[in-house]
């Protein structure tokens, strides 16, 4: 790992710093960009210095206005690698001057990202050369010493190394070179270097080797070397020429870096990029790519087709400006432009924005004015300097238009057949397809054809109309007459085709198209004549309508002649067609109704699933909370989710059960200030007394089901708010209906839920809301019960603490009485009895003192208790002539009061005996020691009390002792159901093993 200094915090150098740290190097920083930076590098003692030289500092002037001496900078004892961003604009003359004075290891930054392999190679080369320079200064100057330096140095180089003579034959290779290439040393030394290169690299090296010799270095070339297994590797090659004392060529020193993987990766990336660009260009969807600043860098052909804008017109522009131009005029505003820009900036800077990774449907307007509907997906692409944004756009205009037409058709078809609004032919059929069928029918039969509405107005375009009918139809008066005539044929055409002659004497036939008994259209054919029809009838008709008779007769002769039988056959075909259309229309109606019902069922199912999901979530949440505040908040949020545009009020009964108060409200945020102004008080501070409320009001408010409030806000507030203020609030909130339901469980009221709907809103999810309120009632009862139990426990804890405190005080009173009694007694034996009794009382009092001071009233921490007890006894029984040292080895042991009191009395008796008898007056002034050990071993306790005194006489046994102390110890051990052992060796040791006593009920 190397210590490397970097002198910039710009984005370009941040990438460099990241790469250096990822290699394990330590990176240090400086803000200087001139000779002061080099001085800083020397002070820090770094291994090398990456000196970033921005374009604006290439002609940097010192304070004395002299140009920087780049030679001094780059030839300091710290290797300095200039980092120049060649993508910026700069003075090439200044750069040339820097390059002429810089070392061989120049790092150029041609793109934002650094080539990791080249970067590693550069660092290794610098460290190697620096190490070599150091060894040259501190080694034997003899040729033999120089050889040893090189051999030692390059055997330790972490790169493949070799040395060549002037003919290009190997003089030396290190073990890494051999491992990389797969050869043995004997297979390499003395062999020609070119034999290890592939043909192309061999020709290149052979041609340029003389130039390398003349230049004194081989710098930054790429070769392909052949390994022993005949595989080829790409290497990045660096070398230096060594000269002898006479300045003649001696040998080369070269290292290389295997960059095969990088080459393969680079090739794969290039191929991948080519495939990706091909995919982008061939994609039918529109694809747009933005750089880190929001400029458009890719705009494929698919997007050109969708938007009508060519790639050349938008490349380099800011995307949000182009997007704004594509926005339909009615939505264009400065506010929208800022909104689009802010979203884009957020996405580019953070990679997160509301529109990312989601499909959005919108419309756009092309430069030619055409509206297109599109679906668009935006996604972020992480780069070292931020994020790029990609867009995939799909044209859904045709689908949108079909959906709108289908929606319109479904709306029309879903109407009942017996309503007052008729279903039209156009609602049931695609007119383009019907027109095609009509034209084919005319082509096959030779007759004219048209479909009209029941009142005679055309639905389709006429097919093969003859010039005679065209002339008549173009006449306004005749046109109306024809409509009336065509509309009147429906009376006789429901069962068989009706054949008749028109005003001009031409045959025509009609077939009725109906659905469910409703007449929706007529299919007319005609404009044919028989050979028997005379010219005089058409001439008479022409005179009536004001046409020239001869022109009408001429047009009449152009009408096709069809035999009557043939015309009847054609009309039967027409009738079959019309019946088929009627049947198809009826099927469409039924199918549409089925689709409508299915969608309705699907919506109901989705609503049911959503309601169940919400109920399950609420039940889970309510189980996990304990406070009423959390419960009120959960219920309010849930109802607001079900009824997002409503106002939700959660009311609760105060702890004293005297008032109702608002606990939570939702939807009133922007109205709270106005409500407070109307009411003259914060709504959350209004108390509604329960005692003044009628039973009807309570039943209305605490209903077990959702119940509508009949008097609005006035009754909701139990008439405690004036009627005028209530009406003002209703106008402010546009209130329609109000519903109440109580939190009521097992005969207890806990408040209520109020749902306030706007005038255009209806109540939904009633059953779900009632179920949720019931679950909330249970949770509230559980919360209140827990609080009651908690309060009861707190009261009992206070009582128990007070009991222990009073017991301790009473025992201290007894101890004080015994102490006063001692003042009136002179006999030594009586004084000792009183003192011992006082100690026993004190040991029990201390137990109760520890209990009322402890947060746990059932168990006592024995370690602290023993320390205080023994200290008190030593103070009471002052042993003259020597000090008594106490040694306590008590781990964290806890026991209940039934076990603690006898255990404490045992310790009290044994320590008292030791203080009284174990250390008689002596001239030796030796220090006495009393040691107490207490350990817990699974379900047993082991108590050891020992001293280093004179020892307990052999004839004294606790079970038969006449002294009260040992008798008491024996009895207490039996009470603890334990065992007692005595070790009379060095002093006296009492070993007691016992178990914890279980609580026994007292009678």
| pLDDT 10s digits, 206-231 | 888 778 777 778 877 889 999 999 89
Beta strand 3-6 with 26-29 is parallel
Range among 237-246, 277-286, 545-554, 587-596 rated most confident: 237-246
Range among 524-528, 717-721, 767-771, 804-808 rated most confident: 767-771
Q: What is the mean pLDDT of residues 722-735?
A: 81
Range among 434-438, 652-656, 816-820 rated most confident: 434-438
Residue 2 has pLDDT above 50, yes or no: yes
**Paired tokens of 722:** 């004036």
Euclidean distance between CA atoms 756 and 648, whole angstroms: 6
Top pLDDT among 721 and 664 is at: 664
CA-based nearest residue to 631, from 791, 772, 741, 793:
772
Q: What is the mean pLDDT of residues 234-262?
A: 84
Q: Is 318 helix (H, G, I), strand (E, B) or coil?
A: strand
User: What pLDDT shows up at residue 483?
Assistant: 45
User: What pLDDT shows up at residue 484?
Assistant: 47
Range among 93-97, 290-294, 600-604, 783-787 rated most confident: 290-294
Point out the least confidently predicted range of 200-204, 725-729, 945-949: 725-729
Point out the least confidently predicted range of 36-40, 464-468, 899-903, 986-990: 464-468
Residue 650 has pLDDT above 80, yes or no: yes
pLDDT classification of 54: cutoffs 50, 70, 90: low
Residue 382 has pLDDT above 90, yes or no: no
Percentage of the chain exceeding pLDDT 90: 4
Residue 607 has pLDDT above 70, yes or no: yes
Q: What is the mean pLDDT of residues 770-774?
A: 86
Euclidean distance between CA atoms 47 and 312, whole angstroms: 50
Whole-prediction pTM: 0.36
Residue 147 has pLDDT above 60, yes or no: no
User: What pLDDT shows up at residue 833?
Assistant: 79
Q: State how far the alpha carbon of 182 is from the alpha carbons of 233, 237, 495, 566, 636, in Å.
A: 12, 18, 99, 99, 75
- Per residue, the 3-state secondary structure of 770-787, as one string, reads HHHHHHHHHHHHHHHHHH
User: What pLDDT shows up at residue 128?
Assistant: 60
Range among 137-146, 494-503, 600-609 rated most confident: 600-609
Point out the least confidently predicted range of 147-161, 368-382, 426-440: 147-161
pLDDT classification of 182: cutoffs 50, 70, 90: very high
What does the angle CA 440 – CA 442 – CA 448 come to, to the nearest 5 degrees?
Answer: 150
| Cα-based torsion angle of the residue sequence 444, 446, 448, 450 in order, rounded to the nearest 10 degrees | 0
Euclidean distance between CA atoms 971 and 661, whole angstroms: 64
Cβ of 500: how many Cβ atoms within 10 Å? 13
pLDDT classification of 109: cutoffs 50, 70, 90: very low
Q: Which residues contact 932 (CB under 8 A, 6 or more apart)?
A: 866, 870, 886, 887, 888, 889, 890, 907, 911, 943, 944, 945
Contact present, 175 and 142 (Cβ < 8 Å): no
Contact present, 83 and 37 (Cβ < 8 Å): no
pLDDT classification of 485: cutoffs 50, 70, 90: very low
Q: What is the mean pLDDT of residues 951-955?
A: 81
| pLDDT 10s digits, 272-287 | 666 666 667 667 788 8
Contact present, 205 and 231 (Cβ < 8 Å): no
Q: Is 139 helix (H, G, I), strand (E, B) or coil?
A: coil
Mean pLDDT of the chain: 77
Range among 43-57, 361-375, 404-418, 541-555 rated most confident: 361-375
Q: Which residues contact 159 (CB under 8 A, 6 or more apart)?
A: 121, 124, 128, 176, 255, 256, 257
Q: Identify the sign of the CA torsion 723, 727, 728, 729.
A: positive
């Amino acid at each position: 790992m190397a210590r490397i200094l970097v002198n910039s915090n710009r984005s370009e150098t941040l990438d460099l710093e990241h790469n250096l740290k990822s290699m394990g190097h330590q990176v240090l920083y400086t803000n200087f960009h001139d000779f002061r930076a080099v001085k800083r590098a020397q002070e820090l003692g770094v291994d090398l210095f990456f000196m970033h030289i921005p374009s604006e500092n290439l002609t940097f002037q010192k304070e004395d206005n002299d140009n920087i001496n780049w030679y001094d900078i780059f030839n300091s004892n710290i290797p300095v690698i200039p980092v120049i961003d060649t993508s910026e604009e700069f003075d090439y003359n200044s750069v040339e001057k820097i390059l002429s004075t810089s070392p061989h290891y120049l790092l150029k930054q041609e793109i934002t990202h650094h080539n990791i392999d080249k970067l590693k190679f550069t660092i290794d080369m610098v460290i190697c050369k620096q190490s070599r320079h150091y060894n040259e200064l501190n080694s034997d100057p003899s040729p033999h010493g120089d050889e040893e330096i090189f051999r030692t140095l390059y055997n330790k180089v972490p790169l493949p190394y070799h040395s060549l003579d002037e003919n290009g034959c190997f003089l030396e290779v290190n073990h890494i070179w051999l491992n990389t290439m797969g050869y043995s040393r004997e297979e390499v030394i003395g062999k020609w270097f070119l034999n290890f290169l592939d043909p192309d690299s061999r020709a290149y090296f052979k041609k340029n080797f003389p130039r390398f010799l003349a230049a004194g270095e081989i710098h930054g070339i790429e070769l392909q070397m052949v390994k022993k297994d005949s595989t080829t590797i790409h290497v990045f090659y660096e070398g230096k020429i060594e000269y002898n004392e006479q300045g003649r060529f001696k040998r080369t020193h070269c290292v290389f870096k295997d960059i095969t993987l990088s080459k393969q990766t680079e090739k794969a990336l290039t191929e991948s990029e080519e495939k990706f660009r091909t995919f982008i260009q061939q994609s039918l969807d529109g694809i747009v790519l933005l750089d880190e600043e929001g400029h458009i860098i890719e705009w494929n052909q698919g997007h050109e087709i969708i938007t009508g804008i060519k790639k050349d017109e938008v490349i380099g522009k800011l995307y949000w400006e182009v997007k704004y131009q594509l926005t339909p005029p009615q939505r264009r505003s400065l506010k929208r432009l800022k909104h689009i820009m802010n979203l884009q900036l957020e996405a580019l800077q953070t990679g997160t924005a509301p529109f990312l990774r989601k499909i959005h449907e919108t419309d756009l307007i092309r430069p030619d004015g055409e509206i297109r509907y599109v679906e668009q997906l935006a996604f972020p692409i992480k780069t070292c300097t931020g994020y790029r944004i990609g867009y995939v756009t799909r044209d859904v205009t045709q689908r949108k238009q079909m959906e709108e037409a289908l929606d319109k058709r479904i709306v029309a078809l879903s109407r009942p057949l017996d309503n007052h609004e008729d279903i039209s032919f156009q609602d049931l059929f695609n007119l383009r397809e019907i027109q095609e069928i009509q034209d084919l029918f005319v082509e096959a039969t030779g007759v004219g054809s048209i479909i009209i509405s029941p009142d005679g107005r055309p639905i389709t375009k006429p097919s093969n109309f003859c010039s005679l009918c065209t002339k008549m139809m173009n006449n306004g008066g005749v046109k109306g007459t024809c409509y009336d005539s065509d509309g009147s044929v429906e009376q006789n055409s429901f069962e068989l085709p009706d054949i008749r002659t028109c005003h001009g004497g031409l045959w025509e036939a009609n077939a009725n198209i109906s659905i469910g008994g409703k007449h929706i259209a007529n299919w007319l054919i005609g404009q044919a004549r028989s050979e028997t029809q005379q010219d005089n009838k058409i001439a008479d008709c022409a005179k009536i309508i004001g046409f020239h008779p001869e022109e009408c007769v001429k047009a009449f002769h152009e009408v096709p002649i069809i035999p009557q039988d043939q015309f009847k056959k054609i009309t039967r075909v027409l009738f079959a067609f019309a019946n088929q259309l009627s049947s198809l229309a009826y099927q469409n109606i039924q199918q549409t109704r089925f689709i409508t019902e299915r969608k309705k069922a699907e919506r109901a199912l989705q609503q049911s699933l959503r309601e169940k999901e919400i109920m399950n979530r609420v039940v889970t949440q309510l189980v996990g909370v304990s406070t009423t505040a959390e419960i009120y908040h959960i219920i309010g949020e849930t109802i607001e989710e079900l009824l997002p545009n409503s106002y939700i009020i959660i009311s609760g009964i105060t702890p004293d059960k005297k008032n109702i108060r608002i606990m939570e409200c939702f939807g009133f945020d922007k109205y709270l200030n106005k409500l407070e102004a109307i009411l003259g008080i914060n709504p959350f501070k209004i108390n509604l007394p329960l005692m003044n409320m009628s039973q009807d009001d309570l039943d209305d408010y605490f209903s077990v089901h959702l119940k509508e409030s009949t008097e609005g806000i006035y009754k909701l507030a139990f008439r405690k708010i004036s009627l005028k203020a209530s009406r003002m609030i209703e106008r402010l909130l546009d209130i329609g209906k109000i519903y109440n339901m109580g939190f009521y469980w097992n005969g207890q009221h806990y408040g209520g839920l109020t749902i306030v709907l706007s005038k255009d809103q209806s109540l939904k999810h009633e059953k779900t809301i009632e179920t949720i309120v019931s679950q909330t009632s249970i949770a509230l009862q559980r919360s209140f019960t827990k609080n009651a139990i908690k309060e009861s426990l707190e009261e009992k804890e206070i009582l128990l603490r007070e009991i222990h405190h009073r017991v301790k005080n009473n025992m201290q009173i007894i101890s004080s009485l015994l102490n006063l009694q001692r003042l009136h007694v002179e006999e030594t034996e009586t004084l000792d009895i009183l003192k011992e009794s006082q100690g026993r009382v004190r040991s029990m009092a201390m137990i109760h003192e520890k209990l009322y001071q402890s947060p746990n009233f059932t168990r006592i921490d024995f370690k602290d208790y023993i320390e205080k007890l023994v200290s008190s006894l030593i103070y009471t029984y002052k042993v003259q002539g020597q000090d008594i040292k106490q040694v306590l080895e008590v781990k964290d042991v806890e026991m209940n009061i039934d076990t603690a009191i006898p255990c404490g009395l045992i310790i009290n008796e044994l320590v008292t005996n030791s203080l009284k008898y174990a250390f008689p007056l002596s001239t030796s002034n030796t220090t006495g020691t009393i040691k107490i050990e207490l350990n817990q071993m699974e379900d047993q306790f082991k108590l050891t009390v020992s001293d280093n005194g004179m020892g307990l006489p052999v004839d004294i046994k606790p079970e038969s002792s006449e002294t009260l102390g040992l008798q008491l110890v024996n009895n207490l051990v039996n009470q603890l159901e334990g065992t007692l052992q005595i070790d009379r060796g060095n002093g006296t040791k009492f070993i007691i093993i016992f178990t914890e006593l279980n609580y026994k009920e007292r009678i």
